[in-house]
Chains A and B, each alone.
Chain A
Amino acid sequence: MYLYDSYDQAMVDARVEEFRDQARRRLAGELTEDQFKPLRLMNGLYLQLHAYMLRVAVPYGTLSSRKMRMLAHIARKYDRGYGHFTTRQNIQYNWIKLEDAPDILADLATVEMHAIQTSGNCIRNISSDQYAGVAADEITDPRPWAELLRQWSSFHPEFTYLPRKFKICVIASANDRAAMRLHDIGLELVERDGRIGARVFAGGGMGRTPMVAPEIRDFVEEDELVSYLEACLRVYNRYGRRDNKFKARIKILVHELGVEEYRRQVEEEFAHMRQLGIQPPTEELDRIRAYFAPPVYETGLPEEVDRSDPDFALWLDRNVLPHKQPGYAIVNISLKPVGGIPGDASADQIDLMADLAERHSLDQLRVTHAQNIVLPYVKKADLYTIWQQLDAAGLGTANLDRISDMIACPGLDYCSLANARSIPVAQKIARRFAGNGKEEAIGELKLKISGCINACGHHHAGHIGILGVDRKGTENYQLLLGGSGAEDCSLGAITGPGFTEDGVVDAIERATDLYLAQRQEGERFLDTYRRLGMAPFKEAIYG
């Protein structure tokens, strides 16, 4: 994985000192909260319902064991002993004291980590495919590109006070595991005439006005991508709406201008930008690429795995995926135990995952946008011992992409924006379907819950989505069907009137019962819904 050189380290160290000074000025009363807010936000520090929340960047979701252990250390020393992995492949801590924040950033900097631009109206952490580097279907590893863009976007002088936050995703496979088209800019690396470049999508997003990003360019050359993105961002910075924060994301600009006109303006700006020499030379991408060179794999490893332990065999079938290298496997560690908080992990669990990665996964881990952890380089021969240790620590849940492997935002339990709680609903759904054969019978079903219209829980992109709203002072839950964040990207549709907390769990059960009765060979819930349409589901739910 990428290692900082002295330049990268100096940047992060300088940022720690800058924030230490800003926090000191705030605590001394030299800065008002209004003035301090954009500064702390650019360091990932939010003021929540009960305390400060700190969001730490995990660039493109890639971690070493050493970094992972630091995340456990922070949970233990500065928080209440746990952390929450997020849909942006980051981790956040919900019980932080402002006085501690500079020390936390200093601790992070010792392992080449930071919280730079994890919030605020700037370019956020670059997200990517959690299986980058090990997926058989990728044309190249997208992470060198993501790292190039991390550096380009860090402290960008022109794009620090954008109309709104800005999220970029880079993938390199036709199978989208990162919800690429629901980003402000999505990049799909593709090959053309033997060269790799980027297919560019712009104006996707969730929130209160969800949009699937349209393609704005079918190919940008490797050695022009930074120039092209500067053009995209400049048009947005100049013309994105600033009169209404709910209409300020780039998706609204692209929608209001129309794709053609936005594209035209970007092309015009790009023609100018490419003259300015702002693009790093190809040697720079090559330099970064060297850090992501494939590891030296062992050969002649056994392919057979002893499946005699049925619980292990189930986990193997659910959570372990094929690797591009013979003898190896990709392990998904579910952070969705039944009755737990989706994405949460205790400091001890984080340490255990770090230990397992060090011993069995070439020292590497990944965070997924579905709030799970991946061990990307596991020898098949090691799977059983890994599972035993995970299981003993409450990390052996065998539910990848099943109904209880749901995405949920922190909701009203933590978040000052939320209208409703997400976590109790998630827990009730898991209890209703897991452990009684239903989850198994249903198979792949991506369920996503947001506690407010901002859609941090990706409810628009769930095969089943739940949106918590405030209805005359009581929590109410709307149900959506038919969304997808994958290559078949689509937005869910609302079924009808909302439900109580228990009512929405019942409604999901009626919808999945209909699916089980109506599905054809090989159909997922989503496929059956797409074939049948909303009407029969509506009837089953409300009928």
Chain B
Amino acid sequence: MVDLLNFREGETIGETPVSIEEFLGASNATAVRIAPGEDARALLPHLDRIALVEVAFPAFGDGRGYSSARILREAGYRGELRASGDVLVDQLFAMRRCGFDSFAPDKALDPAAVEATLSRYADVYQKSVDGRRPIWAKRHEVN
């Protein structure tokens, strides 16, 4: 297990996440894991008791987790949102934009490459859930 990459203020959650099924059962868990085919919206009624959602990326090319993350943030989830598995450095930029704030990659990422990829684009074209003002908003700013 490599170190977690943390972009949160404060510590990451240590609790081992349980499956959605277990979580929705009688569990007292506050950490839950979403597999690619699972519906993130099943968690929406319970967001106030969740501290960590881990979104699994068994293969980097399966992009369902990006939608899962954005759906949770759009619904106001403020806890830790972790991408775990086959997470590559060149994906961090988009993942951060979709609301992920911690990463548990299978293979350790080079800190310099992480820094470079996250600082590369000064601006963004879309509004997402990361609070960045899109280019279209900046273009029509009233000074």
Contact = CB atoms under 8 A, between A and B. Distances in A.
Given A157-B98, A158-B128, A7 B120 contact: no
A403 interface: no
B90 interface: yes
Contacts of B88: 35
B136 to A, nearest CB: 4
Interface string A25-62: 10000000001001100000000000000000000000
A515 B36 CA distance: 54
A487 interface: no
B82 interface: no
B127 A238 contact: no
Nearest to A273: B74
Interface stretch (B2-10, B14-22, B23-31, B62-70): B62-70
Interface stretch (A14-22, A199-207, A326-334): A14-22
Contact of A151 (B113, B117, B135): B135
Interface in B28-62: 36, 39, 60-62
Contacts of B62: 161, 242
A151 B74 contact: no
Contacts of B121: 11, 14, 155
Contacts of A167: none
B61 A151 contact: no
B74 A272 contact: yes
Interface of A: 5, 7-8, 10-11, 14, 17-18, 21-22, 25, 35, 38-39, 121, 151-152, 154-163, 234, 237-238, 242, 272, 276-278, 280-281, 283-284, 287
A433 B94 CA distance: 52
B126 A156 contact: yes
Contacts, number: 100
A268 to B, nearest CB: 10
A157 B90 contact: no
Contacts of A278: 126-128
A161 B140 contact: no
B135 A7 contact: yes
Given A237-B66, A242-B62, A5 B139 contact: yes
Contact of B60 (A10, A159, A161, A234): A161
Contact of A152 (B67, B98, B126): B126
Contact of B67 (A18, A121, A158, A276): A158
Contacts of A25: 113
A10 B88 CA distance: 24
B117 to A, nearest CB: 7
B15 to A, nearest CB: 27
Contacts of B138: 7
